[in-house]
């Protein structure tokens, strides 16, 4: 306890100076709780308002995907360039050094794999998410699939659990075999995620109407990368997505399957954070790829 004798009197009350307000920088999240905002401010850069998330959770449904056979060799060196990593708890504990101190978007639902029908999923235990200090809980939401209701229930339960502990929920819009990735579907799926409690949404970019997908989603959208494309094309669609209002990327294969993943993630950062053009970013990629 502080000494009671000879203490300095409190007299600096700043009378007349209004209390400074700190508006929150992410769309639709002004009224989120403090812990939630703290975690979101680690995932999204408050200066650019955007994030470069590195996704390497593919193995949980696909097994040893190309580029992820030895995550210790391919992913660990990339972590320092990401703002946030998206992975399973298995990968986290095996190959992510805790000293990297990166916010983790933890894959929080799991179930069927590519060998059967995807998306019949259950949830992990919130205690384990807290144990690994998750900054977000990522949930697959399969609108229009036979497991639509299961995945929406998973989202709702996760959003409730996340709200209890101040952990944001990332609604990940899955695309089934028979669903088209057009703005009508992506707009519907993203909006449903947000309305059911997702703090932010991961969806795909589409050539036509993406601006409307973003506009009609009341919380931030980050885009998935999808299948590996030539570097210039991946940088182009990342650029288009950011120009049309996306708050970042959650990219996997277009980074770790690139011939030069460390150069590629830095080129993606230039587009996402510095608003560099795809041409500038490609030049950066071509310069960095020769560096050791
Ligand atoms: C599917 C997922 C993935 O597992 C992964 O994160 C996708 O990353 P990419 O498409 O960029 O390889 O979330 O919806």
Instruction: Quote the ligand 1 centre to 221 CA distance (angstroms).
Output: 14
| pLDDT-based confidence at residue 119 (cuts at 50, 70, 90) | confident
Q: Of all protein residues, whose CA lies closest to atom 14 belonging to ligand 1?
A: 174
β-pairing verdict for 200-203 and 221-224:
parallel
Asked whether residue 27 carries a pLDDT value surpassing 70, the answer given is: yes
Instruction: Quote the ligand 1 centre to 142 CA distance (angstroms).
Output: 13
The structural domains of the chain, with segments of one domain joined by +, span 34-288
Ligand 1 atom nearest the C-alpha of 57 is: 4
CATH superfamily of 34-288: Aldolase class I (3.20.20.70)
Asked whether residue 277 carries a pLDDT value surpassing 70, the answer given is: yes
Ligand 1 atom nearest the C-alpha of 175 is: 14
Q: Of all protein residues, whose CA lies closest to atom 10 belonging to ligand 1?
A: 226
Instruction: Quote the ligand 1 centre to 225 CA distance (angstroms).
Output: 7
Instruction: Quote the ligand 1 centre to 224 CA distance (angstroms).
Output: 6
Greater confidence (292 vs 274) lies with: 274
Residues in contact with ligand 1 (CB, 6 Å cut-off)? 55, 57-58, 86, 172, 174, 224-226, 250-254
Mean predicted confidence (pLDDT) in 223-241:
97
From 56, 143, 171, 224, the mutation candidate for ligand 1 (largest count of ligand atoms within 8 A of CB) is 224
From 58, 172, 203, the mutation candidate for ligand 1 (largest count of ligand atoms within 8 A of CB) is 58
Q: Which residues contact 240 (CB under 8 A, 6 or more apart)?
A: 205, 210
Mean predicted confidence (pLDDT) in 208-231:
97
Asked whether residue 97 carries a pLDDT value surpassing 70, the answer given is: yes
The 10s digit of each residue's pLDDT in 104-113 is 999 999 888 8
Asked whether residue 217 carries a pLDDT value surpassing 90, the answer given is: yes
Q: Which residues contact 104 (CB under 8 A, 6 or more apart)?
A: 84, 85, 86, 87, 92, 96, 132, 133, 134, 135, 136
The 10s digit of each residue's pLDDT in 153-209 is 999 999 999 999 999 999 999 876 667 889 999 999 999 999 999 999 999 999 999
In DSSP terms, 55 is beta-bridged to 86
Q: For 102, phi and psi rounded to 5 degrees?
A: -95, 145
Instruction: Quote the ligand 1 centre to 95 CA distance (angstroms).
Output: 19
Mean predicted confidence (pLDDT) in 13-41:
97
Is the CB of residue 224 less than 8 Å from the CB of residue 238?
no
Is the CB of residue 98 less than 8 Å from the CB of residue 104?
no
The 10s digit of each residue's pLDDT in 131-168 is 999 999 999 999 999 999 999 999 999 999 999 999 99
C-alpha–C-alpha distance, residues 136 and 88, integer Å: 12
Ligand 1 atom nearest the C-alpha of 62 is: 4
Mean pLDDT of the chain: 95
Q: For 18, phi and psi rounded to 5 degrees?
A: -65, 150
The SS3 call for residue 30 is coil
Residues with catalytic function: 202
The pTM assigned to this predicted structure is: 0.95
- pLDDT of the residue at 1: 65
């Amino acid at each position: 306890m502080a000494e009671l004798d000879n203490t300095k009197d409190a007299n600096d009350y700043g009378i007349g100076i209004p209390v400074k307000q700190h508006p929150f920088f992410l769309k639709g999240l002004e009224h989120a709780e403090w812990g939630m905002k703290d975690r979101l401010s680690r995932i999204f850069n408050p200066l650019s308002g955007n994030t470069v998330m590195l996704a390497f959770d593919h193995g949980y449904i696909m097994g040893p995907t190309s580029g992820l056979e030895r995550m210790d060799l391919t992913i660990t060196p990339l972590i320092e360039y990401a703002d946030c990593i998206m992975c399973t708890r298995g990968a986290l504990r095996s190959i992510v050094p805790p000293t990297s101190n990166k916010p983790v978007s933890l894959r929080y639902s799991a179930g069927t794999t590519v060998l059967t029908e995807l998306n019949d999923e259950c949830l992990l235990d919130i205690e384990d998410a807290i144990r690994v200090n998750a900054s977000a809980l990522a949930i697959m939401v399969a609108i229009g699939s036979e497991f639509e209701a299961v995945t929406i229930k998973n989202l709702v339960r996760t959003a409730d659990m996340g709200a209890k502990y101040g952990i944001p929920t990332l609604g990940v819009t899955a695309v089934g075999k028979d669903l088209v990735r057009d703005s009508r579907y992506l707009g519907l799926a993203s909006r449903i995620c947000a309305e059911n409690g997702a703090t932010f949404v991961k969806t795909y970019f589409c050539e036509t109407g993406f601006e409307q997908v973003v506009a009609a989603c009341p919380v931030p959208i980050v885009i998935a990368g999808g299948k590996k494309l030539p570097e210039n094309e991946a940088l182009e669609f990342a650029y288009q997505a950011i120009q049309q209002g996306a708050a970042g990327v959650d990219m996997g294969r277009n980074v770790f399957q690139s011939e030069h993943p460390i150069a590629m993630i830095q080129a993606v950062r230039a587009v996402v954070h510095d608003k560099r053009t795809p041409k500038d970013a490609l030049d950066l990629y071509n310069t960095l790829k020769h560096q050791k």
